[in-house]
């Protein structure tokens, strides 16, 4: 009998996401979504008061000599500013409209140390990187436990998963599911909370960083 019979966080995550009527459970559904929403997402997400504290928290884990893999890099909200902090970034994403926005920013800001890898995480074939970042991008993988094993194997030093710790109106503590899936994959992460204060919001908004450092 499996050691994890009563602690199957991966299965719990799949059961949870399956309940969501908006769950984009296939790559094609997700690609169709980003075809429609890439510009809108970028305009909203790239407001600094929505990510500045999270970026600062990520920066505390990176070094100038690092290679960094950004899984689900999207339009580059983190990859673009982090390019100044590390030696090289691989921006991996399966959605061309998002990567087009990232490439446009890269060109206009004359950033030359970001490589694009247009693929899904589940089919990606990537070398180890010092730091692996997955920010808001693990919502539709077909097998979350396999995705976690792959993230761990690809991490040379530090793995950072950024997600919601249960903000209104969807109060799901997603960080705990990801923590559990990482634990199930055999590692012991830590959880850090960054606080964003978006303009117009009455209270600061928590963002969770689930961080595993290879010993």
Ligand X SMILES: C[S@@+](CC[C@H](N)C(=O)[O-])C[C@H]1O[C@@H](n2cnc3c(N)ncnc32)[C@H](O)[C@@H]1O
Residues making contact with ligand X (CB under 6 A): 30, 34, 45, 72-74, 77-78, 93-95, 98, 120-122, 135-137, 140-141
| Residue 139 DSSP class | S
d(CA 174, CA 167): 10
Indicate the residue whose CB is closest to ligand X: 74
Q: How far is the CB of 168 from ligand X (least distance, A)?
A: 18
Q: How far is the CB of 153 from ligand X (least distance, A)?
A: 16
Q: How far is the CB of 46 from ligand X (least distance, A)?
A: 8
Q: How far is the CB of 45 from ligand X (least distance, A)?
A: 5
d(CA 58, CA 211): 10
Q: Pick the closer one to ligand X by CB: 4 or 88.
A: 88
Q: Pick the closer one to ligand X by CB: 121 or 179.
A: 121
| Residue 62 DSSP class | -
Cis upstream peptide for 146 (omega within 30°): no
| Residue 5 DSSP class | T
Report how far apart the first and last C-alpha atoms of the chain are (Å, whole number): 29
């Amino acid at each position: 009998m499996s050691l994890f019979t009563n602690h199957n966080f991966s299965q719990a995550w799949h059961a949870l996401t399956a309940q969501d009527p908006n769950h984009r459970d296939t790559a094609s559904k997700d690609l169709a979504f980003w075809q429609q929403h890439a510009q809108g997402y970028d305009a909203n997400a790239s407001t600094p008061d929505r990510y500045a504290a999270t970026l600062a928290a990520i920066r505390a884990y990176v070094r100038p000599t690092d290679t960094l893999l950004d899984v689900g890099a999207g339009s580059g909200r983190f990859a673009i500013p982090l390019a100044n902090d590390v030696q090289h970034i691989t921006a991996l994403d399966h959605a061309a409209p998002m990567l087009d926005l990232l490439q446009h920013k890269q060109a206009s800001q004359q950033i030359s140390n970001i490589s694009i890898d247009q693929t899904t995480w589940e089919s990606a074939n990537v070398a180890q990187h010092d730091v692996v970042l997955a920010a808001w991008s693990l919502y539709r993988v077909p097998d979350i436990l396999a995705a976690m094993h792959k993230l761990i194997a690809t991490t040379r030093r530090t793995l950072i998963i950024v997600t919601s710790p249960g903000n209104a109106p969807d109060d799901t503590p997603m960080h705990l599911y990801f923590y559990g899936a990482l634990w199930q994959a055999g590692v012991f992460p830590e959880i850090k909370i960054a606080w964003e204060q978006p303009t117009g919001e009455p209270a600061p908004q928590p963002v969770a960083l689930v961080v595993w450092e290879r010993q």
